[in-house]
Amino acid sequence: MYCSGAKRDSPCAEQHLELCRISLYTHWQRRSVRHERCVFCSQRDANALDVHKTGTSAWRAVARVLRSPVDSLCCALFPAPCRLCGESLLRISRVPVCDSCWKNLPEQAGCLCAICGEALGIADFGESEKLLCRVCRATAPPFARAVAHGLYQDNLRNLLHLLKYDRMQPIADRLGGLLARQVLAVENIPQKMLVIPVPLFRSKKRERGFNQAELLARATVKALRKARPEWKLTVATGVLERRRATQSQAGLTTHQRRANLRGAFFASAPEKLKGADALLIDDIYTTGATARACAQALRRAGASSVHVATVARAQRQEIIQPPAMPAKEIPMHEDVAMWDSGFVPAAPGV
């Protein structure tokens, strides 16, 4: 569009041009408010992509359409294997893990302890309404409930190793979503909680560069706020501290773990904990020594209740599986039930 009536070098001309730009922008906005369709030259009208009214949504729609070809091109030019299964990645990601491995993270199944989540064998079934393991029946833990997404094995274990030892911090975002799902499944859990990550000792945190429990706690809170915006959650990183360095828990027995952590945690801000409900976040629940020590320190500082949520759970005993069915069907005359130890089945053909 051409605008006349003033010289281009004069101040009046500049103001006139600016008014023309504003009028053109306003005219374009009025036309774009009605409806927009993003159509590529190779597409027919039936395959046209409907776009929301705003310009931002239009750009997002274009990005969604272009993302797949760009991912394919980049993966062809710069191939990279999945760190878990070794298959080639099909799209660009901050974490070198394929979608198939992310989907292969099964939740815990079977009969679990109603407090700590320990897998129960047949001999551990109680007569009460709530099924408890032997440890929780003998001594009630200082926390109300401990939940975990899955067993500490296979893909879940490898993901935690990538997070902790290979320092792939974006993994915590996806694992936090799994933790949030388990927290939402807990009955009667408080809707206002202090989310507290299990702390690392200062030297250990400097060596690693981050605290994986803190990353998981922030990712969990982000997912919970999205699912339950009415909940009041606060990540509290300074209320619980580890006062001394402890020996690595790997390879220690249950009693050695508890002795190793005795007096290691303390509440540095008891005024924030008094009367508050706490949600303790960690990566792995093994024997429960860390969860018990932290929960005990929080309760002594005045916390009203403590819930524990971890990504993985290391079970002390395997869940009894039903016997496998025979691959070949046994003939009816040979399929004899041994009801009595003295009963001898008849020989075939008799």
For 112-124, how does the pLDDT look when each residue is reduced to its tens digit (9 = 90+)? Answer: 999 999 988 754 4
In sequence order, the β-bridge partners of residue 88 are 81
Phi-psi bin for 128: left (phi > 0), alpha (psi -120 to 50), beta?
Answer: beta
pLDDT at position 87 over 60: yes
pLDDT digits (tens, 9 = 90+) for 223-264: 999 999 999 999 999 899 988 766 666 666 666 766 767 767
Mean pLDDT of 277-302: 94
Q: What whole-number distance in Å separates Cα of residue 81 and Cα of residue 292?
A: 40
Amino acid 308: pLDDT: 98
Maximum distance among all alpha carbons in the chain?
120
State the Cα–Cα distance between residues 249 and 289, nearest whole angstrom.
9
3-state secondary structure of 131: coil
Q: Is the pLDDT of residue 173 over 80?
A: yes
What letter represents residue 145's amino acid?
R
Q: pLDDT digits over 2-15, tens only?
A: 444 444 445 555 55
DSSP-derived secondary structure letter, 77:
H
Which residues, other chains included, contact 346 with Cβ-Cβ below 8 Å and sequence gap of 6+? none
Confidence of residue 162 (pLDDT cuts 50, 70, 90): very high
Instruction: For residue 181, give the DSSP letter.
Output: H
Own/partner long-range contacts of 35-39 (Cβ < 8 Å, ≥24 apart): 38/62, 38/65
Report how far residue 204's alpha carbon sits from residue 241's, in angstroms, rounded to the nearest whole number: 13
What's the pLDDT at 333? 46
> What whole-number percentage of the chain has pLDDT above 70?
60
Write down the pLDDT at residue 13: 55
* pLDDT value of position 42: 35
Per DSSP, the three-state class of 147 is strand
The confidence band for 19, taking pLDDT boundaries of 50, 70 and 90, is low
**Which of 98-112, 147-161, 234-248, 279-293 has the lowest average pLDDT?**
234-248
- pLDDT of res. 120: 85
Where would I find the H helices in the chain?
Answer: 11-34, 55-77, 99-103, 134-138, 154-164, 171-184, 202-208, 212-227, 254-261, 270-273, 289-300
Residues 6+ apart with CB under 8 A from 98: 82, 84, 85, 87, 89, 90
pLDDT at residue number 95: 86
For the residues 33-46, what does the mean pLDDT come to?
37
* 130-139, 209-218, 221-230, 275-284, range with the lowest pLDDT: 130-139
Query: Which tops the pLDDT comparison, 60 or 149?
Result: 149
Answer whether residue 108 shows pLDDT above 50.
yes
d(CA 299, CA 295): 6
pTM of the predicted model over 0.85: no
Mean pLDDT computed over every residue of the chain? 76
pLDDT above 60 for 282? yes
CB 165: neighbour CB atoms within 10 A? 10
Mean of pLDDT values over 273-283: 97
Domains of the chain: 11-64 (no CATH), 141-313 (3.40.50)
Nearest to 31 by CA among 53, 60, 61, 62: 53
Mean pLDDT of 103-110: 90
pLDDT the model gives residue 328: 52
- Predicted pLDDT of residue 144: 97
Residue 82 per-residue DSSP state: -
| The two structure tokens encoding residue 9 | 């070098």
Does the pLDDT value for residue 189 go beyond 50? yes
| Angle in degrees, CA 12, 13, 18, rounded to 5 | 100
